[in-house]
Homo-oligomer: A and B are copies of this chain.
């Protein structure tokens, strides 16, 4: 009851702090202001901090380094450290601090970085993905500190940059040694528990045709027409890949491993036969798959399209831009049991356990940091990346309460 009461007493202050976090626009390249806020906060609640600009060669040249930039001078990474007394299990609490751009401002009912509250919901870019989740972690740590608890295991709070662009911030934290026995990643899951997370990679296809005047189009080969069998081959591959998925965690997901065609562009003039089409998309990578397996299967499907022209003029496949590693933790892992138990205690019902249809930094933590990760957070999945993003404050506090119990038990706390 001490925990519930502490949270109740600290709600007003917590809401103000979340508003400040949201009001700091922290899109890629602009994370300095918000990181300073978090750093001050971590120090105020009694954690050591490590605040640094990721720039060393081991980081920049790492095989899983993936970013559109090499210069992070205005994008510090931050870790808050609470050393345990020793002999206990450690935990990473991982939250990214970067947000995606607000997009079309006309679709926002209020200013995107307002942080205003209406009917128990706070609005603003990044509030659900994932500053609200970060707050839940911070509240849990602060609560344990305030209640005078000691922990045997270490707590490492990652406030990382760049998750939205490929995870370079979490990679930098891992390479700096901030790994642990397990991790919690409160991305917006609607408080569903995701022990498995889908990874993803981006592809770009170039489909070639032969130009001609539109009036004598029979003299050319339309790359737009030739895109149809390519799109159909992708649809067929998606069906085949999903037939193989038997994991019960996906039973409620209509397409567990989607292949999304996100962009198409080809031709330049209405009355010319288009000689090139570019298609860009994203293929989901199952929790147990490797990126390499998935790439090979995709490339093979594209290479074997039954079309004489395409056989002679093969579609070119390029893997580009962002990629997220899949991640997973065993469903029977002790941290899963602890989380489910406290969820049930706080919320009053069994949690929903699923596999996530998108990647998170949990993939890097699992595969590079050898830190099995659970994704579980208070945000509203469907509003992440969308206008009028919001979070229900009540869920932030429920999640904070759950996290407090989980950390206390996992890290073998004493004093409550």
Contacts and interface: CB of A to CB of B under 8 A. Distances in A.
Interface of A: 198, 200, 202-204, 213-219, 222, 224-225, 227-228, 231-232, 235, 254-255, 258, 260-274, 277, 280-282, 284, 321-322, 356-359, 381-382, 384-385
Contact of A263 (B198, B204, B232, B266): B266
A217 B321 CA distance: 20
Contact of A270 (B202, B213, B235, B267): B202
28 contacts: A198-B215, A200-B214, A202-B270, A202-B271, A213-B385, A214-B258, A214-B262, A214-B281, A215-B358, A216-B358, A217-B260, A224-B231, A225-B231, A228-B228, A228-B231, A260-B270, A260-B273, A261-B267, A262-B267, A262-B268, A262-B271, A262-B273, A263-B266, A263-B270, A264-B266, A264-B267, A267-B280, A270-B281
A260 B214 contact: yes
Contacts of A280: 267, 270
Given A218-B254, A224-B231, A224-B261, A384 B213 contact: yes
A250 to B, nearest CB: 12
B265 A270 contact: no
A240 to B, nearest CB: 17
Contacts of A382: 219
A264 B260 contact: no
Determine the main DSSP class of A at the interface with B.
mixed
Closest 5 CB pairs of A and B: A214-B260, A215-B358, A215-B357, A263-B267, A271-B282
A356 B232 CA distance: 36
B274 A269 contact: no
Contacts of A262: 214, 267-274
Contacts of A200: 214-215, 271
Contact of A264 (B264, B321, B384): B264
A258 B218 CA distance: 8
A274 to B, nearest CB: 6
A224 B264 contact: yes
A275 to B, nearest CB: 11
A385 B268 CA distance: 14
Nearest to A223: B264
A381 to B, nearest CB: 8
B218 A255 contact: yes
B217 A258 contact: yes
Contacts of A204: 270
Nearest to A218: B254
Contacts of A213: 357-358, 384-385
A263 B270 CA distance: 6
A252 to B, nearest CB: 11
Contacts of A277: 264
A321 B224 CA distance: 21
B282 A214 contact: yes
A80 B271 CA distance: 32
Contacts of A228: 228, 231-232
Given A215-B356, A216-B357, 11 more contacts: A215-B358, A215-B359, A217-B260, A222-B260, A227-B264, A228-B228, A260-B271, A261-B274, A264-B266, A270-B321, A271-B281
